[in-house]
Structure 1
């Protein structure tokens, strides 16, 4: 994976986060207990570094909430590449909710009847078509929630 930092025991990756109104770079990884990754954070906020020219955009993965929201609005979520963009956001958000101990958001992401959980299963072809309007509404909430947890 491009942008890898660390040993096999504690791998961190440089990721570009594109949130509703800000973007920048963060470190994400660690594979905690083989179950989830964490973001480099301080005081419960992801440390987000400027989107300046000092970092080569080609050397990091991108978690793009803006693009994912647009794909959902336009109904392009079913192509494999577009679905991957959305899954990246859902996976990162689930990891962050676990990291922060935010059970309410975890339920919104993984609860049995939660629209975003149904979307996740749909993208993996494990569920029928989700309630699209509820998915779009919940994804907007998710983007704002994630952005509120960064420190630029």
Structure 2
């Protein structure tokens, strides 16, 4: 069984299900699918959205969100270039480090987690081996819920 941890710090409280309580004055925003963002990037670049997916990382070379229901273009790379991110993002990073320790992974730490996060969609062009490729990135403002997956 995977480790369940909630990391959204909303008035310092979380529920037993690993989710933060919704603000009483507003209904929670529905998550936008990664498939829809990838198919319609012009509608989302520069906007903050809530996204759910499978977070994958080796804690060094890659971090991305995956939506396995997409027929193609099923990922969003993760960036951390937003100054308005809240304490839940740092709490998620700390929980990742704890999960690496718990599973005995040294150096590269391969992790997967089911996550719901809110962040800004951005795009960037180019990489070392593919200078003309356009990447879609989500810069997390907050990590609403997460659950690390059991070892494979």
- The bucket for the TM-score relative to the shorter chain is under 0.3
Higher relative contact order (CA 8 A, sep 6+): 2
TM-score, normalised by the number of residues in structure 1: 0.27
